[in-house]
Amino acid sequence: MRDRFTPDMTDQFELELEHFRERLSSPEAKEAFKAFAERRPPDFSPFQHCGKNGDRTDRAYGV
């Protein structure tokens, strides 16, 4: 009972944690945290531009 996590679940948790860390360091997250600290609404307008398939094509990602 103590060993409930299978290796597959552990791998999945690590993968999700890696993706979560990446999102926390994204330009959108930085704007959200900065806006929260400054007690203002966030301005996500520079990050709204996506390509046909949802690919990032805005200047924040240097594409």
In a domain, 50, yes or no: yes
Cβ neighbours of residue 56 closer than 8 Å, sequence gap 6 or more: 49, 50, 63
pLDDT tier at 2, thresholds 50, 70, 90: low
- Is 0.75 surpassed by the pTM of this model? no
Residue 31 maps to a domain: yes
Residue 2 lies in a domain: no
Q: Which of 5-9, 17-21, 22-26, 30-34 has the lowest mean pLDDT?
A: 5-9
Contact (CB, 8 A) for 57 and 50: yes
If one counts the domains in the chain, the total is 1
Mean pLDDT calculated for residue range 4-15: 82
* Residue 1 maps to a domain: no
* Residue 18 is assigned to a structural domain of this protein: yes
Q: How high is the pLDDT of residue 9? A: 85
pLDDT at 12 over 70: yes
- Could you tell me the residue range of the domain that residue 36 belongs to? 7-61
